[in-house]
Amino acid sequence: MLSCGGSEKKTVKKEPVSTEISVSDMEKGAQLYRSKCMNCHMTTGGGIEKFYPPLANSDYLQKNIEESLKMVKFGSNKPIKVNGVKYNSLMPASGLTDKELVVVFNYILNSWGNDYGQVSLEQVEAVKR
């Protein structure tokens, strides 16, 4: 007698997901950074102490990527502490699309010595007020 449930285990092969950011996306991210972020966070991501926090070697960014996405996406006037320094400046909403946020964040997360991984479009879309 045969049963419909079947007890065979099916093995699904998963294709490896590329964790590299394309050169093209890094270039797009750099362009967006220069046009939207550089005036405050400076060319090398160092920020301006006590006014605009650094993005390079930022302990806050490394530990709070989702909160950082929220700040950039919607703006914030919430005080934060970065590398032991308190910042209380207004972060205006970037006006970037979710796709643009992905490329600029992946650029920031992987520039100036940062090795903080990357964000996906799904992660950015999930960020709500």
User: Within the chain, how many helices (H) and strands (E) appear?
Assistant: 6, 2
Q: Residue 58 belongs to what domain range?
A: 44-126
6 lies in a domain?
no
- The C-alpha angle with vertex 102 and arms to 78 and 41, in degrees rounded to 5, equals 50
| Mean pLDDT, residues 81-88 | 97
Nearest Cα neighbor of 108 from 34, 51, 49 is 34
- Supply the pLDDT for residue 28: 98
CB–CB of 48/40 below 8 Å? yes
* CATH at residue 51: 1.10.760.10
User: Considering the domain boundaries, does residue 13 fall inside one?
Assistant: no
Predicted TM-score (pTM) of this structure? 0.84
Residue 64 placed within a domain: yes
Query: How many structural domains compose the chain?
Result: 1
Q: What is the rounded average pLDDT for all residues in the chain?
A: 89
Residue 95 near residue 105 (C-beta atoms within 8 A): no
- Distance between CA atoms of 71 and 86, rounded to whole angstroms? 16
Predicted pLDDT of residue 101? 98
Q: Judge whether residue 129 has pLDDT over 70.
A: yes
* 69 belongs to a structural domain: yes
Q: Give the 3-state secondary structure of residue 76.
A: strand
Six-digit token pair at 7?
């007890």
